Amino acid sequence: MKFLDQVKIFIKAGNGGNGSPSFRREKFIEYGGPDGGDGGNGGSVLLKAERNLNTLIDFRYQQHHKAKRGGDGAGQNKTGKKGDNLILKVPLGTQVFEEDNKTLIYDFTKIDEEFVAATGGKGGLGNTRFKSSTNRAPRKYTKGTPGEEFTIWLQLKTIADIGIIGLPNAGKSSLLAAITNANPKIANYQFTTLNPNLGVANYNNKEVTIADIPGLIEGAHKGTGLGIQFLKHIERCKSLLHMIDITNKNVEKSYKQVKEELKKYSSKLSKKKELIVLNKIDLIDEKEVKSIVKIFSKITRSEVTVLSTFKKKSVSKIKSKLLAYVS
């Protein structure tokens, strides 16, 4: 499924049905009086957060959404049928903005959460409503009011317990595949991951939601590479897992480069709790691994651990550590 995290759509709630100007007509009753019913209310447009969605791609192909109109009132004081609501399903983490794409209207943070984005119009009044002691046969009735209509923006910000960050080809997707049920694309070239991937790790009967974010490079906060469009997906993560390829010539520079991009995008991101994972330790000797770990213990207060995604014990150790970063 293709990934889309921002889309502009038009929504229109249903108009209210018209009231009826009907009069009672029965045999042998010459002046039956008014019996016009009210119109039904128009359907509203609702947005609902769904667990199994992770993209807004469906809205690219259908950008106009309209709820049903209310039915007109009828004789015998029959009220028109209420228009059916239109429920649009969106991924958890979707934010709703006004047409300017800046003013936040609503933020979906819970599964099955609903938001009325456009309210249906009110049904009009039938002529029965206008009967009085001085007007026994009113012809007056009212039409239904229009339903609300808006142009809105939907923006998706991934919600996960842990966000995996790092330079391209650091092994982020390999780790996600090893500890969760996700099936990300894995290959030995930069920007294999083009979209955020979500997976759920189960450990000791506890679930940890993990997001694999496309690799960050210098200038990402300005849009370089896959850039700023994916940095926003890290904002909601409780903690970060900073993956570093230990075979890089300068692992310290690799670490600081990513941290600097986070800081330039948002100072809050750079201050998030993080677990530093030095990956691909199976490719260098043990002495060199210990030396690099020692270097990191001097330049950061964050916890530093090592990993080889080809060793089950190493992967299991990471899974157990992640629980401490979401509690």
| CATH number of the domain bearing residue 50 | 2.70.210.12
Count of structural domains, the chain:
2
Top pLDDT among 113 and 232 is at: 113
Indicate if the pLDDT at residue 189 is higher than 80: no
Q: What is the pLDDT of residue 225?
A: 43
- Domain identity same for 92 and 236: no
Instruction: Tell me how far apart the alpha carbons of residues 166 and 16 are, in angstroms, rounded to a whole number.
Output: 54
State which of 156, 177, 211 marks the end of a domain. Answer: 156
Top pLDDT among 157 and 79 is at: 79
Indicate if the pLDDT at residue 226 is higher than 50: no
Indicate if the pLDDT at residue 192 is higher than 50: no
Q: What is the pLDDT of residue 187?
A: 36
The 3-class SS string of 28-42 reads CECCCCECCCCCCCC
Q: Which residues on adjacent β-strands are paired with residue 116? A: 46
- Domain identity same for 123 and 138: yes
Mean of all residue pLDDT scores within the chain: 85
User: Please, what's the largest Cα pairwise distance for the chain?
Assistant: 108
- Domain identity same for 33 and 145: yes
State which of 156, 181, 216 marks the end of a domain. Answer: 156
Indicate if the pLDDT at residue 183 is higher than 60: no
Instruction: Tell me how far apart the alpha carbons of residues 154 and 157 are, in angstroms, rounded to a whole number.
Output: 10
Q: What is the pLDDT of residue 230?
A: 66
pLDDT tens digits, one per residue of 100-152:
999 999 999 999 999 999 999 999 999 999 999 899 889 999 999 999 999 99
Q: What is the CATH number of the domain that holds 262?
A: 3.40.50.300
Contact present, 309 and 302 (Cβ < 8 Å): no
Residue with tokens 């300005």: 222
- Domain identity same for 152 and 169: no
- Domain identity same for 80 and 151: yes
Q: What is the pLDDT of residue 268?
A: 85
Instruction: With CA atoms as reference, report the closest residue to 273 among 312, 247, 245, 234.
Output: 234
Top pLDDT among 256 and 73 is at: 73
- Domain identity same for 311 and 169: yes
Amino acid occupying residue 327: S
Other CB atoms within 10 A of residue 264 CB: 16
Task: Look up the domain containing 123 and give its range.
Answer: 1-156
Q: How far is CA 181 from CA 111, 172, 208, 296, in A?
A: 20, 14, 11, 31
Indicate if the pLDDT at residue 275 is higher than 80: yes
Contact present, 44 and 152 (Cβ < 8 Å): no
- Domain identity same for 70 and 181: no
Instruction: With CA atoms as reference, report the closest residue to 322 among 269, 243, 262, 249.
Output: 243
Indicate if the pLDDT at residue 246 is higher than 50: yes
Indicate if the pLDDT at residue 188 is higher than 50: no
Mean pLDDT of 290-304: 88
> DSSP label at 169?
T
- Domain identity same for 108 and 182: no
Instruction: Tell me how far apart the alpha carbons of residues 221 and 80 are, in angstroms, rounded to a whole number.
Output: 55
pLDDT tens digits, one per residue of 4-47:
788 999 999 999 999 999 998 877 766 678 999 999 999 999 99
Write down the pTM of the prediction.
Answer: 0.74
State which of 100, 132, 156 marks the end of a domain. Answer: 156
Residue with tokens 């009220």: 79
Other CB atoms within 10 A of residue 52 CB: 8
